Amino acid sequence: MPVTLKELGARARVHPSTVSRVANNDPSLRIAPLTRQRIEALLRETEYRPNGVARGLKLRQTLVLAVVIPDITNPFFAALFRGVEDGASPHGYNVLLCNTDGSPQRQRSHLQSLHARRVDGVILASSFLKDPTVRWLRHQRIPYVLVNRFSDEDHDPFVGSDDLLGARLATAHLAELGHRRIGHLAGKPTVSTGVLRRRGYLAALTEHGLAPDPRLVVESGYTEEGGARAAARLMALDERPTAIFAVTDMTAVGAFGAARRMGLRVPEDMAIVGYNDIPLASRMMPALTTVHVPIHDFGSVAARLLLDQIETGEPSRRRVIFNPELIVRGSTVVGAGSPADPQAAPVFATE
């Protein structure tokens, strides 16, 4: 059992509260220098560290944040989490990680558990449009920040990219390469990224004088498997598209696999663009043209927005929207970018 203030007080022959004041460097404390020295020596000798649970109960702050995401094995969320930890850890916070696998039920039950634990704040990267869980967070006055996906356009603190613009850039790139039939692997209509990236795709088509064709839009969700299935459907069309904009890099990876199995070459027979620029994107063969967003910054900025709210005690509606940037690689232009370029390739840390 770790040492307590009570024991320390007994050993130093002072009241526990005095030990507490010395340990916390209370500036209003006047105390005989010798006594102070005695206590400080004891503190050092026993490596005293206050019980965080007791402290949390008294101070009503746990110094714990939580990150709620669909799945940490998706590299997008791993990078996002690192951003959060790197932003929060220097301020003394530890971070809980909760995977929902995209299930609203699991999201809900995680949030309730986090609330019962009195985490100081939540970063939510798995929210839906009009998400009742988000309303619940607001109602409970739990500090939170949404990342990547928003729930209500104007009501929540949010960090993400301009999905509409990013999708337009991606689709315009394909149109400018001369593609007339451009397919879209679409996200879900219940998720902001799904809606906005689809809208951006349609806008770019119109801007380039291309008539939208409903058959060219297939819902893929956000998984590699879903991407493969949806891409296979596009590729089986009588007049199949010559290019695809995929709602995320992982669905684009699925489309790669589908193309290979159908004997289509990328980019010659089928150009493919993704979204996010996860580490995998730059080292595929051919490397994936995609919309780059600063994933790590999403996390660290979200952490800062959250800590601001915690410190001020005021909820926030600040929105930080990063500009997406198109990265042209070999999946749309033969020879563009260099696969696994040592400069471009991300450095992975130690096993």
Partner DNA sequence: CTGAAAGCGCTTACAG
Q: Which of residues 19-58 bind DNA (CB under 7 A)?
A: 20-21, 23-24, 26, 28-32, 50-51, 54-55, 57-58
Task: Determine the angle formed by the axes of helices 5-12 and 33-46, rounding to 10 degrees.
Answer: 130
Number of helical H runs and strand E runs in the chain: 13, 12
Distance of CA 48 to the CA centre of its chain: 36
What is the Cα–Cα distance from 45 to 39, expressed in whole angstroms? 10
Ranges within 257-296 binding a second copy (CB under 8 A): 257, 260-261, 276, 279-280, 283-285
Applying CB under 8 A, among 8, 22, 95, 210 the residue interacting with a second copy is 95
132 binds, among DNA, a second copy, none (CB under 5 to 8 A by kind): none
Ranges within 243-262 binding DNA (CB under 7 A): none
Residue 342 Cβ vs a second copy, minimum distance, rounded to whole Å: 6
Residue 215 Cβ vs a second copy, minimum distance, rounded to whole Å: 24
At residue 315, φ and ψ (nearest 5 deg) are -65, 155
Residue 116 Cβ vs DNA, minimum distance, rounded to whole Å: 9
Q: Is 129 in the site for a second copy (CB under 8 A)?
A: no
Q: Is 349 in the site for a second copy (CB under 8 A)?
A: yes
Q: Is 285 in the site for DNA (CB under 7 A)?
A: no
Report angle CA 211, 217, 218 to the nearest 5 degrees: 170
Residue 224 Cβ vs a second copy, minimum distance, rounded to whole Å: 5
What is the Cα–Cα distance from 195 to 201, expressed in whole angstroms? 10
Classify 115 in phi/psi space as left (phi over 0), alpha (psi -120 to 50) or beta. alpha
Task: Report how far apart, in Å, the C-alpha atoms of 2 and of each of 48, 49, 52, 239 are.
Answer: 8, 8, 12, 72
Nearer to a second copy, 7 or 213 (CB): 7
Nearer to DNA, 28 or 105 (CB): 28
Cβ of 142: how many Cβ atoms within 10 Å?
Answer: 19
Q: Is 309 in the site for a second copy (CB under 8 A)?
A: no
Residues found near DNA in the complex (CB under 7 A): 1, 4-6, 14-18, 20-21, 23-24, 26, 28-32, 50-51, 54-55, 57-60
